[in-house]
Amino acid sequence: MSDVSTYCFGLILTLGLSLGMTVTAAPLDEALKPLPPVAQLDPAKVELGRQLFNEPRLSVNNTLSCASCHHLESGGADNKPFSIGFDGKPVEINTPSVFNASLNFKQFWNGRVDTLEAQVEQVVISPVEMGSDWKTVVQNLSALPAYQAAFKQAYPDGVTAANVQNALATYERTLLTPNSRFDQYLLGNTEILTIQEKYGYQRFKDYGCIACHQGINIGGNMFQKFGVMGDYFKVRGNPVESDLGRYLLTKDEEDRHVFKVPSLRNIAVTAPYFHDASAKTLEEAVDVMFKFQLGRNPSQEDKDLIIQFLKTLTGEWSGKPL
């Protein structure tokens, strides 16, 4: 903004306030962007997807639904290091939040699929998650008159595997968490953050956290090696197959320990952290990031300020703070 523009804006703001007018501040020009509004999607598909999200018949033994591991009332995950599969055993990797997942450029920690539909398809047939198959799922849902009617309303061809996947993905696309205090700040309400939180955001940028945690989802739009500035897995010990990240897909040595950068939205309410759930608190996670991703040794004050900033990223769902 030029000096003349700044002066004019200030004059308009002062005049508006003196006259008792409501003046809307301009959005800030930042690398991080506020969440978009929820798209207007087919209500019949959204409602069907909501029902399916809570439907245990998607699992082989009718014990597990999407909602079993993605608790919408508490951050969109389940607060466990590793969620429990249909067989009562823990899965191999930490469950990420379903909130804002539609904004990620890939799905799963290793980014093995591009769409929410493909993610649903794989979770249902996973031998450690729902353990079912799509033929059985379609048969089970087709046997229920309520689902027959709901699918017919939303899809001309009724109950099919593709339609189940699309309905679930459509519902998940509505699971955005807008109106975080940081989003309000980005939209121009600069007084919504405390001075310490603003300092924290500046430190977040100064130290380079924003190089990977960027864009609308404050992450979720690139891959990165876990352990850029040190051998995280050697220090942690007890290596397991899931630590290999994208290498499991590509067999390319450059993809060893490479994962999708997670979104930081709602990070304060989605502990534990990382694919291996090794960080139990936000403080531990920040320490690991500084040591192994940035190779920096910040002051305790700087870390505390960044954590205060991260807590401003918690949004709302159904009109209530997470």
- Residue 294: per-residue pLDDT: 98
Separation CA 194–CA 199 (nearest Å): 9
- Residue 74: per-residue pLDDT: 87
Say whether 1 counts as a known binding-site residue: no
For the four alpha carbons of 172, 174, 176 and 177, in that order, the dihedral sign comes to negative
Instruction: Write out the residue limits of the CATH 1.10.760.10 domain(s) in the chain.
Output: 43-174, 181-321
CATH architecture of 181-321: Orthogonal Bundle (1.10)
Burial label for 40, CB within 10 Å (0-12, 13-18, 19+), is exposed
- Residue 66: per-residue pLDDT: 98
| DSSP-derived secondary structure letter, 187 | T
- Residue 25: per-residue pLDDT: 74
- Residue 9: per-residue pLDDT: 39
Give Cα separations from 311 to 47, 122, 130, 307, 315 (angstroms): 31, 32, 33, 6, 10
Say whether 8 counts as a known binding-site residue: no
pLDDT tens track for 194-218: 999 999 999 999 999 999 999 999 9
Q: Check: CATH 1.10.760.10 for 43-174?
A: yes
Residue 3 has pLDDT above 50, yes or no: no
Exactly one of 55, 117, 121, 129 is catalytic; name it: 129
Average pLDDT, the chain: 93
The predicted model gives 146-164 an average pLDDT of 98
% residues pLDDT > 90 (the chain) = 89
Structure tokens of 301? 């004050």
Burial label for 295, CB within 10 Å (0-12, 13-18, 19+), is exposed
Structure tokens of 180? 């975080």
**Confidence category of residue 68, pLDDT binned at 50, 70, 90:** very high
In angstroms, how far is CA 109 from the centroid of its own chain? 11
Residue 6 has pLDDT above 50, yes or no: no
Report yes or no: 261 and 222 within 8 Å, Cβ to Cβ. Answer: yes
Helix (H, G, I), strand (E, B) or coil at 202: helix
The predicted model gives 216-230 an average pLDDT of 97
- Residue 13: per-residue pLDDT: 37
Separation CA 51–CA 74 (nearest Å): 19
H or E segment to which residue 258 belongs: strand 258-260
pLDDT tens track for 34-45: 999 998 999 999
Question: Is 129 one of the annotated active-site residues of the chain?
Answer: yes
| DSSP-derived secondary structure letter, 289 | I
**Confidence category of residue 26, pLDDT binned at 50, 70, 90:** confident
pTM, 2 dp: 0.91
Helix (H, G, I), strand (E, B) or coil at 193: coil
Which phi and psi angles does 234 have, rounded to 5°? -70, -45
DSSP string for residues in 2-55: -HHHHHHHHHHHHHHHHTT---PPPPP--SB-PPPPPP---HHHHHHHHHHHT-
Report yes or no: 176 and 99 within 8 Å, Cβ to Cβ. Answer: yes
